[in-house]
Structure 1
Amino acid sequence: MRDKGLYNNILNWSKDHPGRLALGMGMVLALLLFWNCLPQPLFEVPYATVLEARNGQLLGAKIAEDGQWRFPIKDEVPQKFEQALLEFEDDAFYYHPGVNPAAIGRAMIQNIEAGKVVSGASTITMQVIRLSRKNQPRTYWEKIKEMILALRLELSYSKEEILALYAAHAPFGGNVVGLEAASWRYFGRPPSQLSWAESATLAVMPNSPALIHPGRNREHLEVKRNRLLKRLMQKGTLDSLTFRLAKAEPLPGKPLDLPQRAPHLLSRLYSGGHRGERIRSTVDISLQKQTEKIVQRHHKLLRQNEIHNAAAVIADVRTGAVKAYIGNTKNPANHHQNKVDVVTAPRSTGSILKPFLYMLMQDEGMLLPDMLVADVPTQISNYTPKNFSKTYAGAVPASEALSRSLNVPAVRLLQDYGVPRLHHYLQQMGMQTLYYPPEHYGLSLILGGAEGTLWDITGMYASTARFMNRYDVRDPQTKQFKSRPLHYIEGKEPTPSNDSFSLNAGAVWSTFEAMLEVYRPDDEINWRQYLSSRKVAWKTGTSYGFRDGWAVGVTPEYVIGVWVGNADGEGRPGLIGNKTAGPILFDLFDMLDETSWFHEPLYAMKEVPVCRKSGHRAGPYCTPVDTVAVPTTGLKTEVCPYHRKVHLDTSQEYRVHSRCMPVSKMKSKEWFVLPPVQEWYYRRNNPSYAMLPPLLEQCEQDVDATVTMELIYPHDASQIYVPKEMDGSKGKTVFEVAHRGSRSTIYWHLDEQYLGKTEAPHQMALSPEPGQHRLTLVDEDGVTLRHNFEILSR
């Protein structure tokens, strides 16, 4: 009822006062128009993309899309520039509502007396409006619009915000717009570090930027600057000494180039959608400068071997924050694809993934840290891996196979572990470049058959180290491995992956311990002899064809990844990870703060008897035996298969068995025996290896041939492809056999046809016709070994 009465009163009032209603409605409409007259946003202009270090220092900038050096707006205006600007342009700025009536009156009198426009009476607020309404004619009607908009601007923005808008959009000559861009282009430093003379110079420039550009009309610019400095002194802002010193400062010369401390990171931000933004990165500018120097110093040496590109990433293990980012080298002639960001470029991984296989197999209980693994010539289907040295050890501890980066043991281990399983876990650990299914890569996955990025791989090592840092036996959550990629934007830490899997900390610990033994570069070869040396778990990689050299190192505090090569994929002799990327890695570690080492996860380890010779859990015939701490998952591994009880005659010079000698006359002894092929290579490198004594003559019946002889090639192959020679003639396949007897003779037969005999080494080059064949080998004692195979059509 009250609302209805109020409505009737308004209706009756409007009938009695129609003129007042029209006036009121007009005033309301005018207020609405006034309130909505300010454009939103006020400035519709593109800005430069600005990259800052963690402390706010400028790392680099990319010009705005309209070709102007216009930095994004900053909230604060340096005090020196503010005081100089207000003295020059608008000394009543903090007292007027956007329009200064006194200044307008003074300008009108001056213009009438001069007979032309000599003063515009524009306040800073009005100038902000004029800058936002670019290319508008300078008319009285436009001036009135500016006044109205200036009044409206003052109602929504603080004085500080209006000053910031002016400082960000004022013209400073050429394509330089805004105080910050001008400060860097003309003086090479941020506005906060400008002197009084420099601040005064920039304060007077927007008044007529085309006329007083520092590149010309320098006398005019200097006069205006000095006049402003004098006013500041007269006002008491400057003392007389500061005034004289400021007047003596020279004017700036031609515009300077902006800093380019992390150009590839800047380009990555720009292409990633951060255009026109000011990005505060996690980069430490001091580390960035030092890293750049180190990489460039090595680059000068590397390019003598036509190796032209290198990249490096340093990150904090605990947070994943990038501290230094070198996407590529700076080449003198600006070529060799130095603009490519190699940090994100997929490259063949070489051996850099081997530690993850070693770690995962221990976690699965398939491997102990020093368990012997086979290192013999190997052919799996049509794949024949080779060690870098082209030599074989026969059998080698798994930790040594990792530290020496032996290819054959790695491939054989992957065959046992399974390519699909490794493929799956590599993806869960953060490798984003496995675009194809496991069968596409096959066993070559562990030797560089897949491509990875320095970014992903460095992040994978960081996540593994972070897992060790976080591990706490009291907290089950810390037993779950979750990958988290590296990041470079301050305050935007990526969340850990949703995928996780249980991981034994002991497996990680023993992997890092094995990585300590990777052969260091020449300058670091004797690192253990110095107390000051730091422990670094590191691994190198070299891709096929010497195209990529990798080195990744990790401590509880830092992870460093280095890549060296040619961005166009050209291989070079000597482009080996240990020799090219390794020295850079350790020079980078040397510049970092002191680092620690990981705590041994005692509750994830267990002391067990381990055979000293084989590294397996000790069996009943193992001797000597050591008590060693191994991952608790290692209890699943088999006991030593290489130690067995051997029966000897009374002279202990011959082996015997119960079918040829009474048990009462036999002597028993524990013996370390490797399979024939492994033994063939192992004994060359281990003179202490004791071969089995020969069988007593009457005990040689019913001997298993595989105990005495074993094919080295083809070991498992049932299908063999023999290519033609360069001249078109038939090619040959070299068959090779290992025999326990160092002076044995082997008689060769192919399809029941005698071919000849061999004495060590037992090799024979054959060229069978396509089809099925049988190779028969007989030694002088009558021990026979047969192998069926097929020669594929040429």
Structure 2
Amino acid sequence: MSSKDKRSSAALWMTDLVCVLLLLAFLFSLPGQLFISPTSFVIEASDGRLLSASIAKDGQWRFPVADSVPVRFAQCLIAFEDKRFYKHPGVDFMAMARAARQNIRAKSVVSGGSTITMQVIRLSRGADRTLWQKLIEVLLAFRLELTNSKQDILKLYAGNAPFGSNVVGLDAAAWRYFGRSAESLSWGEMATLAVLPNSPSLVRPGKNSARLIKKRNDLLDKLVRLHILDRATADLSKLEPIPDEPLPLPQYAPHLLNRFKTEYRAGIRNARFVSTTTRITSTLDFSLQLRVNELLKRYNNRYRANGINNIAALVLDVKKGTVISYAGNIYQPENKELESHVDMIKAPRSPGSTLKPFLYASMLNDGFILPKTLIADIPTQISGYSPQNYDMGYDGAIPADRALSRSLNIPAVKMLQSYKYPRFYDKLKQFGFSTLSQPADHYGLSLILGGSEVTMWDLAKAYMGMARTLNHFNDYKGRYNPHDYDPPVYFHPLDGHGQPISRDQRFDRFQTQINSIIDHGSIWNTFNAMEELMRPGEEGLWEQFSSSKRLAWKTGTSFGFRDAWAIGLTSDYVVCVWAGNADGEGRPGLTGIDAAAPVLFDIFKQLPVGKWFKTPKNKLKQMMVCRQSGYKAGAYCTDKVMQLVSPAGEKTTLCPYHKMIHLDRTGTYRVTDGCEQPSLMVHKAWFVLPPAMEYYYKIKNSDYKDLPVYKPGCEDAGNGNVMEMIYPKNYASVYIPVELDGTRGKVVFNATHRRANASIYWHIDNEYVTTTKNYHQLALSPPAGKHTLTLVDEDGERLVQVFTALDKD
């Protein structure tokens, strides 16, 4: 090859290389993301209506680019800015030539000839308008058209064009200037917005109104000439007023908006998928959200007279596992002392009695009790801890389901003492309570009375999980899906095609297992107990809430009247309500039944009436139960009834309160074989409670029959279980109060004897003190230290206990 040919080949090679480099430069001339400015956080209801939005980090109202551009805006914009938009490849040379002629004639720049595509490039670059920048815009406009559809380009323009003041993008402009979504704007309103980006600094609402009106009207006339509008519509559109001052955006779910912000930013930091955009279409029902907001506002106005400043409500759709109303607080940012910015749905608070149904369900599930098992309700002291019922009374013994419906504290503590608080603590962890940050010993038995903290979110989630589990009994053929206890969702992430991914799509709805946290039968029995309407005591005002809806519900009041709770559920919905003060201040009258329950029932009135839970018959067992004791019927139970219970009920003990006693032939006295011939005895089953339980039980149960006394001559037949100390219990510590005059006070000792007219001889440290008859109460002031208390009746039966009197310090 000659040197000339070599030079020619090298030149050709260099030319090809330059062309390839230029082509690559052209192809990679646009960044992966054209616009990187921060966007506003926006939450829409499930039907697309705006709920709440916040200003972007740079102080601009800039919504994320929408999925589509309203047809009216596209037609107005193209008619005003780029009538050959759908025909040119990004640059309209005819328009540029026309602009050049106009500029030469005017000897100044009066027209730029830029297409919408070129304007998108200019907006993304933010560079000054120079001839060199114009050439770059031409090149990049070609590149943009190469890989983007005309609709994509319109979306980029509509989402990033300036509309005056600090408003960027069509969606933000529609809400700021007209208070409505862009899709709902009229022709006159669309024409107004279409002309604004042309010169936003000179023509904007509130200034230069005459010029803005002229530009809008000229555009409307042009739409008539292009046969897009008829003359009548255009003339009517010209009569529409132009906007004045920017309008505030709706704030119907401000606390959910802040939750979304927090979770979005945490997701970015942790590379965890939350949402690909700062705009979400939530699962909230728009009209329900507004009605709940109005309800909370109305109740808050009433409660503030008592110094109760905050209230919150959360409504979940059980079957979909979604949030349909989220009101984290009343929203009055102008009144800072109300602290209405605090999202109480996320705030850890004392749950009061709202955890009691979980203990009841757990004990049914693990075979500790049956639904109506008698639970002791007597004065109780456990290691210095003395729980009290709300009404300060005692029932002696009460069925477990009624103790739950009446929200009695002492039976709940007795049940937890039997179940063991570490086991219940682990159970609550399984339910997903995220605020149990301390070990189980830190809470102890107070765990069941509000000694821990929970959030409304976790509480509603746990109840929803049980409801979903029971609803899915047939769907999963009696098996369990662990995802039923997953948190509710407030928006559905989008798939690769922009379609929402439902909960069932995200989780394998057939990923089932044999066991669950709580079995179907125990959940069913728990919800039935929560539905019970006869609620005296703490929930004594239940009559005002009676309705045709079947509803499982529970209230709670924290110590010091700091938190009022009410949570209710059906097979379709879970509603959780909290009322109180964000700063933790307690107020008299701040109870679940007075402050939260009325709101709960008013919210349920806004919801459709659904069916009650189906009975999971295959997960329930027919069991013969003692009607009086609620235990599994034993040989001596005289009144038995069939009851549907969880299969775990087989593990419960036989009735311990029915015993066979031996009477004389008249049936009047108890006898033994030491004083009566067995052939002359009458054998009879008898319902016998321990003395302390009996003492209070027979006050409220007139049909309770005392054991017959022993026949004279059978005095030595005592069984050693005729006396019981009510207070103090064995090994208890008692505090001796100091009276107002400085003298040492006294403690009232209380005992009971099975015989109503029995005498008891009291001894402390082997020293005789006194004798009591019928009512065995004694006021004493023992010195500080450990003491032995000995009680002896006239038959010689003895009861010996130890107690410690605490020093006044």
* TM-score normalised per structure 2: 0.92
Q: Deviations over 1:329-375 (max 9, x none)?
A: 13473531111110011110111011111111111111011111100
1:235 lines up with 2:226 in the alignment: yes
Whether 1:63 aligns to 2:55 is yes
Aligned residue number for residue 613 of structure 1: 628
SS at match of 1:197: helix
- Regions of 4+ moved over 6 Å: 496-500, 520-524
Q: Letter of the aligned partner of 2:111 in structure 1?
A: S
Instruction: Give the distance between the partners of 2:133 and 2:552, measured in 1 at CA.
Output: 70
Structure 2 CA distance for aligned equivalents of residues 43 and 502 of structure 1: 49
* 1:5 alignment counterpart: none
Question: SS of the counterpart of 1:347?
Answer: coil
How many Å apart are 1:792 and its aligned residue?
4.3
Task: Pick closer, same or farther for the CA change 1:330–1:473 going to 2, 3 Å.
Answer: closer
Q: Please state how far the C-alpha of 1:35 moved relative to its aligned partner.
A: 2.4
**CA positional deviation for 1:523:** 8.8
- Correspondence 1:554 to 2:556: no
The structure-2 alpha-carbon separation of the partners of 1:172 and 1:760, relative to structure 1 and needing over 3 Å to count, comes to farther
Instruction: Give the aligned residue type for 1:784.
Output: R
Task: Give 2:21's aligned residue.
Answer: 29
The answer on whether the counterparts of 1:472 and 1:478 sit within 8 Å (CA) in structure 2 is no
Mapped pair 1:590 → 2:605: yes
Q: CA deviation at 1:303?
A: 1.8
The answer (yes or no) to whether the contact 1:482–1:501 under 8 Å persists in 2 is no
* Distance of 1:36 and 1:14 partners within structure 2: 32
Structure 1 residues 400 and 524: CA distance shift in structure 2, 3 A: closer
Runs (5+) with no aligned partner, structure 2: 269-276, 493-500
Question: CA distance change for structure 1 residues 657 and 473 in 2, over 3 Å: closer, same or farther?
Answer: farther
Deviation (angstroms), 1:779: 3.0
Query: SS of 1:737's equivalent?
Result: strand
- C-alpha deviations, 1:580-622, integer Å up to 9, x for none? 1111111111111121111112122222222211111222221
Cα deviation for residue 535 of structure 1 reads: 0.8
Q: In the alignment, does 2:94 pair up with 1:93?
A: no
C-alpha contact (below 8 Å) 2:378/2:410 kept by paired residues: yes
1:312 aligns with 2:303: no
Cα distance in 2 between the residues matched to 1:44 and 1:664: 100
Per the alignment, residue 397 of structure 2 pairs with 395
Say if 2:205 is the partner of 1:214.
yes
Is the contact made by 1:52 and 1:60 (CA closer than 8 Å) also made in structure 2? yes
* Counterpart residue number, 2:780: 766
Map Cα deviations across residues 688-743 of structure 1 (whole Å, 9 max, x no partner): 111112222321225244x2210001223344454655665435332110122333
Q: How does 1:371-520 map to 2 (within 5 A)?
A: 371-472=373-474, 475=477, 477-478=479-480, 483-490=485-492, 491=501, 493=503, 495=507, 501=516, 503-519=518-534
The residue identity in structure 2 corresponding to 1:579 is D
Distance 1:523 1:171, change over 3 A: farther
Alignment partners' CA distance in 2, 1:468 and 1:484: 15
| Cα deviation 1:521-550 (Å, max 9, x = unaligned) | 89962777x7xx121111111111111111
Query: Is 1:176 paired with 2:167?
Result: yes
Q: CA deviation at 1:754?
A: 2.3
> 1:730-759: CA deviations, max 9, x gaps?
353321101223333323221122222334
Give how far 1:476 is off: 5.6
Deviations 1:475-511 (A, max 9, x none): 3633879521111122363759999636432111111
Structure 1 partner of 2:271: none
Distance 1:446 1:534 in 2: 28
Which residue of structure 1 lines up, in the alignment, with residue 543 of structure 2?
Answer: 525
Q: Secondary structure of 1:456's partner? A: helix
Aligned residues: 781
Q: Which moved more, 1:225-234 or 1:606-615?
A: 606-615
Q: Taking structure 1 as reference, are residues 626 and 34 closer, same or farther at Cα in structure 2, changes over 3 Å only?
A: closer
Deviates more, 1:506-515 or 1:688-697: 688-697
Q: CA RMSD in A?
A: 2.4
Aligned to 2:122: 130
Read off the aligned partner of 2:20 and give its amino acid letter. Answer: V
Measure how far apart 1:82 and its partner are.
Answer: 0.9
What is the TM-score when the length of structure 1 is the normalising length?
A: 0.94
The answer to whether the 8 A contact 2:672-2:717 is kept is no
Deviation at 1:12, TM superposition (A): 8.7
Residue 623 of structure 2 aligns to a residue in which SS?
strand
Which range moves more in the overlay, 354-363 or 266-275?
Answer: 266-275
Amino acid at match of 2:286: I
**What CA distance in whole angstroms lies between the structure 1 residues aligned with 2:521 and 2:225?**
75
1:78 counterpart = 2:79: no
Partner of 1:272: 263
Give the Å deviation of 1:431. Answer: 1.1
Contact 2:430 2:517 in 1 (8 A): no
**Kept after mapping to 2: 8 A contact 1:734/1:763:** yes
Q: Does 1:252 align with 2:253?
A: no
**SS state of the match for residue 200, structure 2?**
coil
Corresponding residue to 1:148 among 125, 139, 152? 139
Partner of 1:39: 31
**Amino acid in the other structure paired with 2:34:** L
Identity of aligned residues (%): 48
Contact 1:365 1:635 in 2 (8 A): yes
- 1:443-483 Cα distance to aligned partner (Å, 9 max, x none): 11111011111101101001001111112498363387952
The AA in structure 2 aligned to 1:355 is P
Matched, 1:301 2:302: yes
Shift of 1:634: 1.2
Which residue does the alignment assign to 1:752?
766
More divergent stretch after superposition (417-426 vs 517-526): 517-526
Instruction: Quickly say closer, same or farther: Cα 1:630–1:686, change in 2 above 3 A.
Output: same
State the secondary structure of the residue aligned to 1:641: coil
- The answer on whether the counterparts of 1:172 and 1:209 sit within 8 Å (CA) in structure 2 is yes
Alpha-carbon distance in 1 for matches of 2:186, 2:4: 69
